[in-house]
Amino acid sequence: MKKIMLSLFLAACFFAANSQTDSLTQYTGKYVFPDGSVVPSVDVALSEGALSMSSAAGSSPLTQLGLDSFEIVQFTGTAVFRRGEDKTINAVHIEAMGYVLDGQKQSNGIWIFREYYLPVNRELLFSRK
């Protein structure tokens, strides 16, 4: 009986830790700022269960303050992630070292081609040797 209870307890701890990591992955991605900003973009990554933010200015770990707000430790600032109508993270608002930045989340690097263009020289395409 003790082994069964211990197994259930360990399984519950595993699922709780796994769900915490899954909830942090929604913040990861590349956030792009408008032209003329101090940094062009920041990358938010999840490593060993902790979020970190890196840019051309440097990198910093993020410490969670609230539901969608984090402290940028190295730059003494805050990052607040914004959600869209579909409840997914689509933007970030950063206030650090006297700068205020608002950036949009770039889609996950997936390119979607809507049109297909044939090659200019069709004779080479259908030639037989």
Cα 114 from chain centroid (whole Å): 25
Residues with Cβ within 8 Å of residue 52, at least 6 apart in sequence: 44, 45, 59, 60, 61, 62
Six token digits for residue 113:
């081609």
Say which CATH class 27-107 falls into. mainly beta
| Segments making up each domain of the chain, as ranges | 27-107
Output the pLDDT for position 27: 92
Mean pLDDT per block of 10 residues along the chain (129 residues) reads: 68 52 82 90 91 92 93 93 91 92 78 48 54
